[in-house]
């Protein structure tokens, strides 16, 4: 349990470090939602890293001190996290259609923040997505017309990038919708996502098993002493 907790703490430090680096150097990197501006890759990494560090720290102290309360606390936190993830997955698959509609509506709303002051994270995220996935806009490139109030798209939508190429004709822009393109990419890589999720679940179960085993041993030792 001590080795596992130390590993978790080191992993949490690494995740936290990456999150802080992104926040400092890239702003709210990968922020696409206008309704939830704090829901960025940097903030998610910071929260995740901090939480993992806390669990690892509590696990270390609990293992060293053989403290029943701390060991039980680690077990309860692990159960809560695992239950939360499972519930989120179930709700996601049940309400997929509603989530799709809401996500597209929110992303289109967020396009109006592109290139504005204080939204470097959203701007960078859209530029990267449109360049890497060779797409333009949420549902199509005309989504940008409402943003600029003219027939124009960001330069990241161009087949061949050049300054102000977004002012050229639609024939020089990517036609694929970004939302569907990214969604298809995720579906094609579903196996990798599933393996990652399974490994995460196994790590959670392993940590829970270690904590509960040591908790039971401490309880037995206290009983014998009594």
Query: Which single residue is written with the structure tokens 């799709």?
Result: 100
CA distance 155 to 165: 5
| Residues 83, 9 share a domain | yes
Residues 168-202 have pLDDT tens digits of: 888 899 999 999 998 888 888 777 767 766 776 67
| Residues 162, 131 share a domain | yes
| Residues 108, 88 share a domain | no
Of residues 110 and 33, which shows the higher confidence score? Answer: 110
Residues 104-119 have pLDDT tens digits of: 888 888 898 888 887 7
Please tell me the predicted confidence (pLDDT) of residue 138: 92
Of residues 35 and 179, which shows the higher confidence score? Answer: 179
The predicted model gives 117-122 an average pLDDT of 78
Q: Please, are residues 40 and 31 in contact by the beta-carbon 8 Å criterion?
A: yes
| Residues 122, 109 share a domain | yes
The contacts of residue 224 (CB under 8 Å, 6+ apart) are none
Residue 203 belongs to domain spanning: 2-94+189-225
DSSP 3-state assignment of 158? Answer: strand
| Residues 114, 57 share a domain | no
| Residues 14, 32 share a domain | yes
Q: Residue 162 sits in a domain of what CATH number?
A: 1.10.1450.10
Query: Which single residue is written with the structure tokens 């993830």?
Result: 85
| Residues 88, 7 share a domain | yes
The contacts of residue 113 (CB under 8 Å, 6+ apart) are 34, 119, 122, 123
CA distance 153 to 139: 13
Please tell me the predicted confidence (pLDDT) of residue 185: 86
- In the DSSP assignment, the letter for residue 129 is H
Q: Work out how many domains the chain is built from and give that number.
A: 2
Statement: residue 151 has pLDDT above 70: yes
DSSP 3-state assignment of 173? Answer: strand
| Residues 31, 71 share a domain | yes
């Amino acid at each position: 349990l001590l080795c596992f907790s130390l590993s978790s703490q080191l992993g949490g430090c690494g995740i936290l470090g990456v999150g802080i680096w992104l926040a400092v150097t890239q702003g709210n990197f990968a922020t696409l939602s206008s309704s939830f501006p704090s829901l960025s890759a940097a903030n998610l990494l910071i929260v995740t890293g901090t939480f993992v560090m806390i669990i690892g720290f509590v696990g270390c102290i609990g293992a060293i001190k053989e403290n029943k309360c701390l060991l039980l606390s680690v077990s309860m936190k692990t159960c809560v996290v695992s239950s939360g993830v499972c519930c989120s997955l179930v709700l996601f698959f049940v309400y997929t259609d509603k989530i799709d509609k809401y996500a597209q509506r929110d992303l289109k709303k967020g396009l109006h923040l592109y290139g504005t002051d204080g939204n470097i994270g959203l701007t960078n995220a859209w530029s990267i997505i449109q360049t890497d996935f060779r797409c333009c806009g949420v549902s199509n490139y005309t989504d940008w017309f409402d943003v600029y109030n003219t027939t124009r798209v960001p330069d990241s939508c161009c087949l061949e990038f050049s300054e102000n190429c977004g002012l050229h004709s639609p024939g020089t822009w990517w036609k694929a919708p970004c939302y569907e393109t990214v969604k298809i990419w995720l579906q094609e890589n579903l196996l990798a996502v599933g393996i990652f999720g399974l490994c995460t679940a196994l790590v959670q179960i392993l940590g829970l098993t270690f904590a509960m085993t040591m908790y039971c041993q401490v309880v037995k030792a206290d009983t014998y002493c009594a």
